[in-house]
Amino acid sequence: MLIVKKFGGTSVADKERIFNVANRCIEDYQKGHQVVVVLSAMGKMTDVLLAQAKDINPNASKRELDMLLTTGEQTSVALMAMAMDSLGVPAVSLNAFQVAMNTTETYSNARLKRIDTDRIKHELSNKKIVIVTGFQGINKYDDYTTLGRGGSDTTAVALASALRADACEIYTDVDGVYTADPRIVKNASKLDEITYDEMLELASLGAGVLHNRSVEMAKKYGVQLVVRSSLNRTEGTVVKEVVKMEKMLVSGVACDKNTARISVIGLEDKPGVAFKLFNHLANHGINVDIILQSVGRDGTKDISFTVAEDAADEAMEIIERHRTGSLKCSEMEVEKNVAKVSVVGAGMMTNAGVAAKMFEALYDANVNIKQISTSEIRVTVLIDEKYVDTAMNAVHEAFALGSN
C-alpha cells in the first residue's frame, strides 16, 4: 500500500513531536507500506518569518515572502529525515524544486498544476520514506510559490492523486470532524464519515479542520481522506463521495467570525452596477459572500454583502476609489461585529424544512437574523457576532446532533 500522511505545524513543533510523527510513519513503513510524508513548517515558524519580513519591509513583495516562507517547510522535512534516520529507517527529504511541484504563477496563493512523481517513486523504490515540503511549489519562472492557507493539505491530496496512493491521511490536533466546534458546543460529537460536499461547506465556513481547496481537489480526483489526530489513536473522520444510508439529515453546525458586512447605499439603479462593484473587488482578489440587493430611495438601489473581516478595509477603500466614477452612491457602511452560522448536510437535498427548523431554533433563542444564504446542502445566516455561541448551541440542539 502507498500511504500519504500529512502533519501540520503543531505536530512537528518540537523534537518530541517530530519523533512522535517519525514513529507513526515508521509503523506503516515496517508493515511493508510505502510512505510519503507531507509536512508544514514547525509550530509558529511561518508566523515568525512573516514578522521578520514585516520588520524589514511591511510591504514586502509576495515573491520574496514566498522565498522566505519556503525555508520553513524545508527545515521541517530535513529534521524529520534526520529523526527517521536516527531510528534506523532510511528517509529522504524533498523540496518543491526536487519533486518538481509545478504551480501557477501567482505568488502566495498559487494552484498546483502538475507534480512530477519520478523522484518520489525512485526514492520509494529505494525503500526510503519520502518527506515532502507541503505548502510550496515552483512556477514557470523557477520561483518559489506558496499555496495559501491550508496549502499543505492540498499538497498531500495532490500527491496522493498523482501517486495513486491507497490512502491519504491528514493529521491534525483534533480527533476528526465534529458536528460543531467542541469549544463552543460542549456535547458536539465526532463524525465517522462525511461527504466531500459537506466537508467543503464546513471548510469554507471556518470549521478549520481541512481547507476547502484540498477537499475540492480530493473530490475532483476521488482521493478518499482520513482526518485524524497526531496525538492519539482515535479513528478519525473519513471524507468521501457517498456515506452510509442512515446518514443524519444534518452533519454539522459551523460558524465563521471572520466576517464583515459592507453596505453600499443609494447606488444608481441601472444595469451593470452590481457587476462593476463585484468586478472591482474580484480584481483585487477579494471574495464576496452572501449578497443582498434591495430597492433604495428615489430610484436607487442598495447592495450589501459579506467579505472576510480582514479584507473589509481594503474592500471599502476600493469602493471609495470608484465612488466618483463608476460607483456613485450616497453612503457606505461596514459592520465588523457579525458572524455566519450554518447548518450543513447532504441529507438536506431530499428533505425540506431544514431552514425553517434552523430559523425556529434561532427565534426561540432570541437571535436576530440579518441576512440569509442557502445552497443545496447548507443554510447560512448572518447574525451579530456576540450571539454566535447561543446560536450554535441552539441549532445543534434543534437537530439533535449531540453525543448524548
Q: In whole angstroms, how far apart are CA 303 and each of 42, 199, 383? A: 43, 30, 18
Q: CB of 293 within 8 A of CB of 301?
A: yes
Pick the stretch among 58-66, 102-110, 164-172, 362-370 that binds a copy of itself (CB under 8 A).
Answer: 58-66
CA dihedral (10, 40, 73, 134) in degrees, to 10, reads 170
Q: CB of 203 within 8 A of CB of 215?
A: yes
Total interface residues for a copy of itself by CB under 8 A: 37
The interface with a copy of itself within residues 31-50 (CB under 8 A) comprises 49
User: Does residue 142 belong to the site contacting a copy of itself (CB under 8 A)?
Assistant: yes
DSSP 330: S
- Residue placing its CB nearer to a copy of itself in the complex, 49 or 288: 49
Among 81, 162, 170, 348, binds a copy of itself (CB under 8 A): 81
Euclidean distance between CA atoms 201 and 220, whole angstroms: 15
- Residue placing its CB nearer to a copy of itself in the complex, 44 or 119: 119
Q: Which residue matches cell numbers 518538481?
A: 100
User: Does residue 371 belong to the site contacting a copy of itself (CB under 8 A)?
Assistant: no
User: Does residue 23 belong to the site contacting a copy of itself (CB under 8 A)?
Assistant: no
User: Does residue 93 belong to the site contacting a copy of itself (CB under 8 A)?
Assistant: yes
Q: CB of 304 within 8 A of CB of 371?
A: yes
User: Does residue 18 belong to the site contacting a copy of itself (CB under 8 A)?
Assistant: yes
Among 143, 193, 360, 397, binds a copy of itself (CB under 8 A): 143
In terms of Cβ atoms closer than 10 Å to its own Cβ (0-12, 13-18, 19+), residue 399 is buried
- Residue placing its CB nearer to a copy of itself in the complex, 71 or 300: 71
Euclidean distance between CA atoms 263 and 50, whole angstroms: 32
Q: Which amino acid is at 325?
A: G
CB of 19 to a copy of itself, least distance (A): 8
Dihedral over Cα of 35, 38, 41, 47: its sign: negative
User: Does residue 214 belong to the site contacting a copy of itself (CB under 8 A)?
Assistant: no
User: Does residue 102 belong to the site contacting a copy of itself (CB under 8 A)?
Assistant: no
Among 64, 216, 314, 360, binds a copy of itself (CB under 8 A): 64
Euclidean distance between CA atoms 24 and 230, whole angstroms: 8
Pick the stretch among 75-83, 157-165, 186-194, 366-374 that binds a copy of itself (CB under 8 A).
Answer: 75-83
Taking alpha carbons only, the member of 322, 173, 164 closest to residue 234 is 173
Contact residues for a copy of itself (CB under 8 A)? 15, 18, 49, 52-53, 55-61, 63-65, 67-68, 70-71, 74-75, 77-79, 81-83, 85-86, 92-93, 95, 97-98, 119, 142-143
